[in-house]
Chains A and B, each alone.
Chain A
């Protein structure tokens, strides 16, 4: 059983579940954005802005970003524990990951409600 202070949910099973749930959300968001962009070859700022003005789209985008944060954390945590054996280097790497994901969240929230 995975028990480590740096894994997301302090349990390997919950991490696995978070990874799968977030994957489904991210897959749905990716398909939605790709279909929208392919279907709008002459996309204008007004159309693009109107899309993200919908409350449903704001919720979907924020949910996708939160899913990305959970998904990336579990994934990069796994990579870090597999390859970065010296604890100091592992913690520095995970700190950089955490800060970067936090910045992505702030930029997304600002883009949606700023």
Chain B
């Protein structure tokens, strides 16, 4: 490789294309979920333990901070899910062109945004 080739690693001068943004969000949501799943596994385990455990989870979920954590975690699941479906499409060769790639990425942002808002309504309503 030519060592004198021009390189630009100044991220502030680079405009990221939408697929790059959906890709890094997929990764960030995945790393977060590794921790967030712990919260969900704890909720499942405690709620199944006994009627009392079920009540503990129920009453915990009436607190604002627990609702917020649940919403963030459910949002990460939903985003990771939608972006993951795009990956499966791309595995089949759909949405890989210069024209269809950004369209699919915008679709991922739009669909997951709607689902995340609906999740918020579900959790707080």
Q: List the interface of chain A (C-beta within 8 A of B).
A: 20, 23-24, 27, 30, 38, 45, 48-49, 52, 68, 72, 75-76, 79, 97, 100, 104, 107-108, 110-112, 114
Contact = CB atoms under 8 A, between A and B. Distances in A.
Given A23-B84, A27-B85, A30-B77, A48 B47 contact: yes
A23 B88 contact: yes
27 contacts: A27-B81, A27-B85, A38-B122, A45-B47, A45-B50, A45-B55, A48-B48, A48-B54, A49-B48, A49-B54, A52-B48, A68-B37, A72-B33, A72-B34, A76-B31, A76-B34, A79-B27, A79-B30, A79-B31, A97-B34, A100-B34, A104-B37, A107-B41, A107-B42, A107-B45, A110-B45, A112-B48
| B interface bracket (residues with beta carbon within 8 Å of A) | 20 to 34
A20 B44 CA distance: 25
Contacts of A112: 48
Contacts of B114: none
Question: Which of B37, B48, B87 gathers most chain A CB within 10 Å?
Answer: B48
B54 A45 contact: yes
A108 B47 CA distance: 12
Contacts of A79: 27, 30-31
Given A27-B81, A30-B77, A48-B48, A104 B31 contact: no
A23 B23 CA distance: 16
B93 interface: no
Main DSSP-derived SS at the A contact region: helix
Given A20-B88, A45-B51, A111 B44 contact: yes
A111 B54 contact: no
Given A97-B34, A100-B34, 16 more contacts: A20-B88, A20-B91, A23-B87, A24-B88, A27-B81, A30-B81, A45-B55, A49-B48, A72-B33, A75-B27, A75-B34, A76-B30, A76-B34, A79-B27, A100-B38, A108-B45
